[in-house]
């Protein structure tokens, strides 16, 4: 994980509609930037839907929610439509942002090692500084925890 108190790495990525999003465009707002392994899996669906449920509360606190995975724009669009997700899902197929935020790690599943996204969430302040960094988060609990941290 990146260190608290350091500038968040800048990025520009497309969302589920192909619209480009840059971190710089969110200056003046808090950003909850969450990285998840894959669209339409049970944990990722729980986490996304939980963020969606709490989105009005995040907005009341001056925060935006942005999800990032290595899935394609088309995959994100299907995920958004299936669950009515009201926030940007950014596609990082090149892994540039995923690696910049240090969430691409070796994982072990059923004794087999592979590289993948470790479910992680960053809280970035209005000036682009990392104020919270949470790794290996529990999908269902993470949105409420982040809301309480703001």
The rounded distance, in Å, linking the Cα atoms of 16 and 2 is 26
Provide the 8-state DSSP code for 113.
E
Give the integer Cα–Cα distance in Å for 21 and 88: 8
Place of tokens 């309480």: 148
Of 117, 94, 127, 148, which Cα lies nearest the Cα of 44? 117
The Cα–Cα gap between 64 and 58 comes to: 7
Which of 13, 31, 32, 44 is the catalytic position?
A: 44
Residues 19 and 13: their CA atoms lie apart, in Å, by: 8
49 labelled catalytic? no
The interaxial angle of helices 73-83 and 42-60, nearest 10 deg, is 70
Catalytic positions, please? 44
């Amino acid at each position: 994980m990146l260190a608290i108190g350091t500038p968040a790495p800048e990025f520009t990525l497309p969302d589920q509609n192909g619209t480009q999003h840059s971190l710089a465009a969110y200056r003046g707002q808090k950003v909850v930037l969450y990285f998840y392994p894959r669209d339409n899996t049970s944990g990722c669906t729980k986490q996304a839907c939980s963020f969606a449920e709490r989105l009005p509360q995040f907005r009341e606190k001056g925060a935006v929610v942005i999800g990032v995975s290595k899935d394609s724009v088309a995959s994100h669009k299907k995920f958004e439509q299936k669950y009515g997700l009201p926030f940007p899902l950014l596609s990082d197929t090149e892994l540039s942002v995923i690696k910049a935020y240090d969430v691409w790690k070796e994982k072990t599943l059923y004794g087999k090692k592979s590289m993948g996204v470790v479910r992680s969430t960053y809280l970035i302040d209005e000036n682009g500084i990392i104020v919270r960094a949470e790794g290996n988060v529990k999908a269902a609990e993470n949105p409420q925890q982040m809301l309480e941290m703001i």
